[in-house]
Structure 1
């Protein structure tokens, strides 16, 4: 049997395993429009640009400070409630991911992990909802539990260490520049998932390969 190109595969969650970002960003846009201190028109494209791959708490805190306001004390709690309700009602897995995760789990002797910048509750809730959690049970890592989240490398380093694999022998699958920088900083090889196919999110980064459908990943690893 031919040895795998990589000893472990580390997946981001949002936008890679589950198609959550349009749902969360829609909720976020609505709640931002309710804030009196948001003084410029916001679009879904602007939300995608500012928040994809980043922690919402960090971005919101920075935005509030820039505008000389304090984020309302209950804003994050209300956001999380609305976010979770919308995800529970609408979330779907990324197309092709179920067969891909099963194949990679078998081909790498279980050495796959989910390394997300999101909070653990959200990550595990989403994976459970779309039927993916069984492949990642005990191998879910949250940036909220690290000294710093993405683009710092801690969450990927923690996942690699747990699997007993050197970061240099890990493949990271990411859909954002923030996440790609985290994987690269960890010393892993990064491939970019971009369903639109253009890969502009990774411009200027040494992302080795960009692909547009999750069903293609097992074949790419064998090539």
Structure 2
């Protein structure tokens, strides 16, 4: 079956945001008694909503995850993202190509909050490709690794999830796409490990966004 729609994750797929976000979180965790390197913080939190890791945070800080903590985290995160966010290399051409090939049937299905996603897409010049087709896991009954956000995006596009290609970069997101019934391709720039992504369910792994249009066109031709 050929793909009729493409559903993109946002962080780490459209925008290079994960180290920025985890940097803000690492600093706050350090202030609350849990000292982590940036790499360790990313291992624990990339792909997860911070609130979903509340028990882990409490176990290491001895403090519950409060609304006040989250409000301060969002503030620090947003300031850093507004100043430092960049697009993933090659993503503009890739999105433009898939937007044309799918006749506009592309969407963002992110585990992040809507403000963050919309702000980042505006900052890097991608928002117009996805306007009115942006979905946040924060607005779903369950966020990733559950399939809700991908199912919502597919339903909005009036597409069977089986005809959707999901582009992800984390095991959490891959599991969400697979659970939705979509085919998932994983973006994994070196030195990211590829075996864990395929074990999570990725049907294909690619290393650079410039490869995505060609891979997609080849799939259509084969179909």
After TM superposition, the score normalised by the length of structure 1 is: 0.93
CA contact (8 A) 1:176 1:201 kept: no
Q: Indicate the SS of the match to 1:9.
A: strand
User: In the alignment, which residue of structure 2 is the partner of 1:66?
Assistant: 59
1:194 pairs with 183, 188, 194, which one? Answer: 188
Q: CA deviation at 1:70?
A: 1.9
User: Which stretch shows the higher mean deviation, 190-199 or 21-30?
Assistant: 190-199
| Rounded Cα–Cα distance in structure 1 between residues aligned with 2:195 and 2:73 | 29
| Rounded Cα–Cα distance in structure 2 between residues aligned with 1:220 and 1:141 | 25
CA contact (8 A) 1:115 1:141 kept: yes
CA contact (8 A) 1:175 1:201 kept: no
| Rounded Cα–Cα distance in structure 2 between residues aligned with 1:130 and 1:163 | 24
Aligned pairs for 1:1-223 (under 5 A) are 5-36=2-33, 38=34, 41-59=35-53, 61-67=54-60, 68-196=62-190, 198-223=193-218
Q: Which runs of 5+ in 2 are unaligned?
A: 219-223
| Rounded Cα–Cα distance in structure 2 between residues aligned with 1:216 and 1:69 | 45
| Rounded Cα–Cα distance in structure 2 between residues aligned with 1:18 and 1:190 | 18
Q: CA deviation at 1:56?
A: 1.0
After TM superposition, the score normalised by the length of structure 2 is: 0.93
| Rounded Cα–Cα distance in structure 1 between residues aligned with 2:194 and 2:138 | 27
Which has more helix, going by share of residues? 2
* CA RMSD, 1 decimal: 1.4
Q: Give the ranges of 4+ consecutive aligned residues of structure 1 lying more than 3 Å apart after TM superposition.
A: none
| Rounded Cα–Cα distance in structure 2 between residues aligned with 1:53 and 1:201 | 14
Q: CA deviation at 1:63?
A: 2.1
CA contact (8 A) 2:175 2:201 kept: no
| Rounded Cα–Cα distance in structure 2 between residues aligned with 1:127 and 1:73 | 26
| Rounded Cα–Cα distance in structure 1 between residues aligned with 2:9 and 2:201 | 17
Q: CA deviation at 1:71?
A: 2.7
Q: Which runs of 5+ in 1 are unaligned?
A: none
| Rounded Cα–Cα distance in structure 2 between residues aligned with 1:55 and 1:198 | 22
Count of matched residue pairs? 216
